[in-house]
Amino acid sequence: MITKDDVVQYAQKARVGIDMARNEIALTFLLERIANSEINDRVIFKGGSAIKKFILGPTGRFSVDVDFAALSQFRGENLDNVKEALLLLVENDAEDEVSFYIDSFEEAGPGTIQADCSYTSNFGDGNFEMDITESKTPPILGTKWKTPISQSYFSLFDFTPSPILTTYEAEGMAEKLAAIHRRSDNRNPKDIFDLWSWFSKNCPAKEDVDALKKLWPVRLWLDGQTWRGPSWFENVRAKDFDWYMLEKTVGGGVKSFEPEKIIAELKERILEWIDKDPYQILKDAKSHSKSLREINGEVTRILKRLNNNEISLV
């Protein structure tokens, strides 16, 4: 059984606050509950928390929320059914150390639920936000089962964390890059930091970087965004962001990294290819004159195979 002293020790090792360390541990219990449920193949775990859990592990940024996407089995069902499948699962009794609660929820947009959640446990209480999105299109590369990267507190569990459904690494980073494009005016640097961490701390394989280059225009198009045009990333500046928004989520706080260096290193990685558009997907993001089926054809040509399977959006 995990104790409050265990949380304090983990927080000190990770160089974050106790509340952040406690949430990290509690959310691992939540993922285990989902992994062993009847809907384990119907929701995808994604976003910043998934990047930490599955890609960066101890070196990743802590996250204050969790993001899920409902897979195709839910398509055609109304939002109440999506809510019932996942939100009620959170509140169901389970044979573990944590009790989760849904304090409130609302429709944050078409097909999206935003829930304020809390939990109680022997190692302390806390709260977090959970977003559930009803996917309009499946992940471009499909999904994969992935086991959380081992962290120091795993030795305290009486279980081994189970695999959970998530997206491929390159697609997760393409979503981050599209989020940077979409959120360039809100001053939140979390997506910038996550993408930089992937490049600088994870040493991604060449094939994953190549996939990112080709995926990001498609992600932009599928998100319905209007491309900002050539040089949009070249104009990104460290001063455009409020880096203190990361203060609680990064080990050691803002003093542990240099924002200007982060931006400079990302530009070295990205500027060479960010505006290349051989299949005219970025330009079409302005008009959306192409259909989803046409975009699907481009994707099939761009990414011919993944694990010997043809890729299809429709």
Q: pLDDT (tens digit, 9 = 90+) per residue, 154-208?
A: 999 999 999 999 999 999 999 999 999 987 678 999 999 999 999 998 888 888 8
- Distinct helix (H) and strand (E) counts, the chain: 10, 7
For residues 146-170, one letter each, b for 16 or more C-beta atoms within 10 angstroms of the residue's C-beta and e for the rest, the string is: bebbebebeebbeeebeebbbbbbb
Owner of token pair 């976003």:
47
Question: Does residue 247 contact residue 253 with C-beta atoms inside 8 Å?
Answer: yes
What percent of the chain stands above pLDDT 70? 86
Rounded to 10°, the helix 259-270/190-201 angle is 70
More confident residue, 311 or 44: 44
Q: What is the pTM of this model?
A: 0.89
Q: Chain centroid to CA 32: how far?
A: 17
Asked whether the predicted pLDDT for residue 303 surpasses 70, the reply is: no
Asked whether the predicted pLDDT for residue 100 surpasses 70, the reply is: yes
**130-144, 236-250, 295-309 — which is least confidently predicted?**
295-309
Question: Does residue 295 contact residue 218 with C-beta atoms inside 8 Å?
Answer: yes
What percent of the chain stands above pLDDT 90? 54
Confidence band of 121 (pLDDT split at 50, 70, 90): very high
More confident residue, 96 or 56: 56
Asked whether the predicted pLDDT for residue 306 surpasses 50, the reply is: no
Read off the DSSP letter of residue 253.
-
Confidence band of 42 (pLDDT split at 50, 70, 90): confident
Question: Does residue 153 contact residue 14 with C-beta atoms inside 8 Å?
Answer: no
Confidence band of 129 (pLDDT split at 50, 70, 90): very high
Asked whether the predicted pLDDT for residue 78 surpasses 60, the reply is: no
d(C-alpha 220, C-alpha 218), whole Å: 5
Question: Does residue 32 contact residue 162 with C-beta atoms inside 8 Å?
Answer: yes
Torsion of CA 309, 40, 192, 270, to 10 degrees: 0
Confidence band of 222 (pLDDT split at 50, 70, 90): confident
Looking at residue 297, its pLDDT comes to 75
Question: Does residue 164 contact residue 35 with C-beta atoms inside 8 Å?
Answer: yes
d(C-alpha 231, C-alpha 92), whole Å: 49
Reference 298, options 309, 308, 312; nearest CA is: 312
For residues 205-242, one letter each, b for 16 or more C-beta atoms within 10 angstroms of the residue's C-beta and e for the rest, the string is: eeebeebbbbbbbbbbbbeebebbeeeebeebeeeebe
Confidence band of 87 (pLDDT split at 50, 70, 90): low
